[in-house]
């Protein structure tokens, strides 16, 4: 089968289209014919080598963290899926590979795709949908009536997180360019700040939750947005000791993580707020819940553009510019 390979890490390292072996199918795996794949900033960061200490991939590597497609075959222990099912997933870490014709996905990471969506729309959801769910529901435990500040509302995660937070009954503030303000209010944002001109530390106070996805300077400013007892959930780091323990990191890496996050954890304690770093995990059960919300009209996908499979490197390069409004998709797989 055909797949786009990363031969070595590097910002300027190109992807290479090649013939590769068919995926091996374990007893609890499902073989999926890829119809569409989402392209994420995480793919770019892995390509650059930013996660090579935390995620020891073997090179050459097939990137791609979002898949929508059709079941071709199932392993001996699989009970919830059958050939012909239309499914979607965020494959497990160390088992990514959606920039290919076919992929083997663990049954527990897979769900039936939302019935109301196309393959391209379904492929836009797994990573960003699970990230928003795990950040707001699992970690922050966002409640009706609370106030949440979601950074970068026009991005893939932000556009879904706004809709989920509104569904949960929260007051939602976000940042974006002035040109995107009306669109984000239509998604459910109550307040849209201009990221170029508005000072969040001066304008936002007493918030219960912050979903952080930007740089360290914005992270530190966000601490002042929270009330005592508030929760700051970061998608962009720095990683915290709980994350290092969860991935079974060796002691030297645990020490490095502890040192990297020491400042923000100290400032959080001083302000009496909680700091958590989230590295999203594959979860088919949560994807099933998200599919139900999509089919009920609560959450709708936001797609910037769709590239053909032959232009996968261009799709990844576009995501790296940071200008996408919603998700970028690779469709039209051979």
236-245 average pLDDT score: 88
121-139 average pLDDT score: 98
Reading the block at residue 169, the tokens are 């009954």
Across the chain, the runs of DSSP E, i.e. the strands, are 2-6, 15-19, 29-39, 61-62, 66-74, 86-89, 102-106, 110-112, 147-150, 171-176, 191-194, 207-212, 226-234, 274-277, 303-308, 327-331
DSSP-derived 3-state class of residue 295: helix
Cis-peptide into 9, omega within 30 deg: no
Q: What is the pLDDT at residue 286?
A: 98
pTM listed for this prediction? 0.95
Task: Read off the pLDDT of residues 34-58 as tens digits, 9 standing for 90 and up.
Answer: 999 999 999 999 999 988 887 889 9
Is residue 113 very low, low, confident or very high in pLDDT (cuts 50, 70, 90)?
Answer: very high
Domains, the chain, ranges and CATH? Answer: 2-125+301-331 (3.90.180.10), 128-277 (3.40.50.720)
Is residue 170 very low, low, confident or very high in pLDDT (cuts 50, 70, 90)?
Answer: very high
Reading the block at residue 281, the tokens are 């995990």
Residues 6+ apart with CB under 8 A from 274: 230, 231, 232, 268
242-247 average pLDDT score: 86
**Between 269 and 243, residue with greater pLDDT:** 269
Is residue 237 very low, low, confident or very high in pLDDT (cuts 50, 70, 90)?
Answer: confident
62-78 average pLDDT score: 98
134, 109 Cβ separation under 8 angstroms: no
Nearest-angstrom CA–CA distance, 332 and 329: 10
25, 105 Cβ separation under 8 angstroms: no
The strand pair at 274-277 and 303-308 is best described as unpaired
Rg of the chain (C-alpha set): 20
Report CA 87 to chain centroid distance, whole Å. 18
Q: What is the pLDDT at residue 244?
A: 87
Residues 6+ apart with CB under 8 A from 247: 54, 279
User: How many Cβ atoms from other residues are within 10 Å of residue 184's Cβ?
Assistant: 23
207, 150 Cβ separation under 8 angstroms: no
Whether the predicted pLDDT of 245 surpasses 90: no
173, 150 Cβ separation under 8 angstroms: yes
What is the residue-averaged pLDDT of the chain?
Answer: 95
DSSP bridge pairs for 32: 71, 103
Nearest-angstrom CA–CA distance, 35 and 88: 10
Task: Read off the pLDDT of residues 275-314 as tens digits, 9 standing for 90 and up.
Answer: 999 989 999 999 999 999 999 999 999 999 999 999 999 9
Whether the predicted pLDDT of 229 surpasses 90: yes
């Amino acid at each position: 089968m055909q797949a786009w390979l990363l031969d070595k890490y590097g910002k300027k390292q190109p992807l290479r289209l090649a013939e590769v072996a068919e995926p091996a199918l374990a007893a609890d795996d499902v073989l999926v014919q890829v119809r569409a794949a989402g392209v994420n900033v995480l793919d770019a960061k892995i390509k650059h080598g930013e996660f090579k200490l935390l995620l020891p991939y073997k090179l050459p590597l097939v990137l791609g963290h979002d898949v929508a497609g059709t079941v071709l075959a199932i392993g001996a222990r699989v009970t919830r899926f059958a050939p012909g099912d239309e499914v979607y997933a965020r494959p497990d870490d160390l088992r990514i590979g959606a920039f290919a014709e076919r992929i083997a996905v663990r049954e527990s990471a897979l769900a039936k795709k939302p019935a109301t969506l196309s393959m391209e729309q379904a492929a836009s959801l797994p990573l960003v949908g699970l990230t928003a769910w795990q950040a707001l529901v699992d970690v922050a435990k966002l409640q009706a009536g609370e106030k949440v500040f979601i950074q970068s509302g026009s991005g893939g995660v932000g556009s879904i997180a706004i809709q989920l937070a509104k569904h949960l009954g929260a007051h939602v503030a976000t940042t974006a360019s002035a040109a995107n303000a009306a669109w984000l209010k239509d998604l459910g944002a109550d307040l849209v700040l201009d990221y170029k001109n508005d000072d969040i530390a001066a304008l936002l106070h007493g918030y219960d939750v912050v979903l952080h996805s930007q740089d360290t300077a914005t992270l530190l400013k966000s601490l002042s947005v929270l009330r005592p007892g508030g929760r700051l959930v970061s998608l962009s780091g720095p990683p915290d000791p709980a994350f290092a323990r969860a991935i079974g990191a060796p002691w030297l890496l645990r020490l490095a993580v502890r040192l990297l996050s020491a400042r923000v954890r100290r400032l959080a304690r001083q302000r009496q707020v909680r700091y958590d770093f989230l590295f999203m995990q594959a979860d088919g059960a949560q994807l099933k819940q998200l599919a139900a919300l999509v089919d009920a009209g609560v959450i709708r996908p936001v797609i910037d553009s769709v590239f053909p499979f032959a232009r996968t490197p261009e799709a990844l390069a576009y995501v790296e510019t940071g200008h996408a409004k919603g998700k970028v998709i690779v469709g039209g797989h051979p």
